[in-house]
Homo-oligomer: A and B are copies of this chain.
Amino acid sequence: MDLVEMNYADFTKMILTLKTDIYHQTVQENRNIIHVNKEQTIIKNLEKIFDATLEISNEKGFQAMSMRDLAKGAGLSSGGLYAYFPGKMDLLTMLQKHGRKMVQEILFKLVKDAPDHVSKLRIALKTHLYLSEFMQPWFYFSYMEAKNLSEPERHNAIESELTTEKLFAAIVSQGQDAGLFEPRDPQLTAAIIKAILQDWYLKRWKFSRRNISVDQYANFIVEFVEAFLDVHGTETIRLKN
């Protein structure tokens, strides 16, 4: 699979097994606080709990979601939920950690094997955008509910955010050293890239109202960033239209 040319459909197919891997990791990390034995049962219910949490919270806020709401949404009883986490706040922490792991693992894995800096930049842009589409409810949730995290967890969230920004800054910087990009400030360039990527999942209503698909937005971002950095195209790398 050529990652440089991938579209959103390719991306979703590719990451399905990675998603399962990361659920197993999440279960292992919380093995001590989950009072259920069978791993398959845990994963099945945890996914229902996470999905319901995202759906309800994104509509009215995590704080406003009662455990009764969540129980109904996840198909469990209100008491039964407490076999999966000790309290509401722990659910929040668990879900945030799970999502961060998924983003970091997939983003770094796909970018790693790119053959050159121009590909690296394009793959990083597309992967981040496609992740934020695939996990849109989580991205939105993560941003909106960051304030409810405990101090150490909020710190982790910020570090994770900056790590992603540093990835873009590093790609820009290395491409510049290789003489492939114009000398724009890498940190500011990365900040602009993040802001434009963020628009996709934070202002989603705007794009759906304007009938802009994720593949169109991907092309737009790639074109914009490459124009900004004045990327010198090669024969083998072309934009899909």
Contacts and interface: CB of A to CB of B under 8 A. Distances in A.
B61 A192 contact: no
Interface in A191-224: 191-192, 194-196, 198-199, 202-203, 205-206, 210, 220, 224
A63 B63 CA distance: 7
A147 B61 CA distance: 8
A78 interface: no
Contacts of A63: 61, 63-64
A70 to B, nearest CB: 15
Contacts of A194: 199
Give the interface centre of A195, A199, A210 by most chain B CB atoms within 10 Å: A195
A6 interface: no
A148 interface: yes
Interface string A107-148: 000000000000000000000000000000000000010011
A192 B147 contact: no
A10 interface: no
Contact of A191 (B144, B162, B199): B199
A188 interface: yes
Contact of A192 (B64, B196, B210): B196
Total copies of this chain within the assembly: 2
A90 to B, nearest CB: 17
A178 interface: no
A16 to B, nearest CB: 30
A202 B202 CA distance: 11
A5 interface: no
A202 B59 CA distance: 20
Interface in A39-81: 58-61, 63-64
Contacts of A198: 195, 199
Contact of A61 (B59, B148, B188, B224): B148
A158 interface: yes
A147 B60 contact: yes
Given A158-B205, A195-B196, 8 more contacts: A63-B64, A64-B148, A162-B206, A187-B210, A188-B220, A195-B198, A195-B199, A195-B203
7 contacts: A58-B147, A61-B61, A61-B147, A61-B148, A162-B206, A191-B199, A195-B203
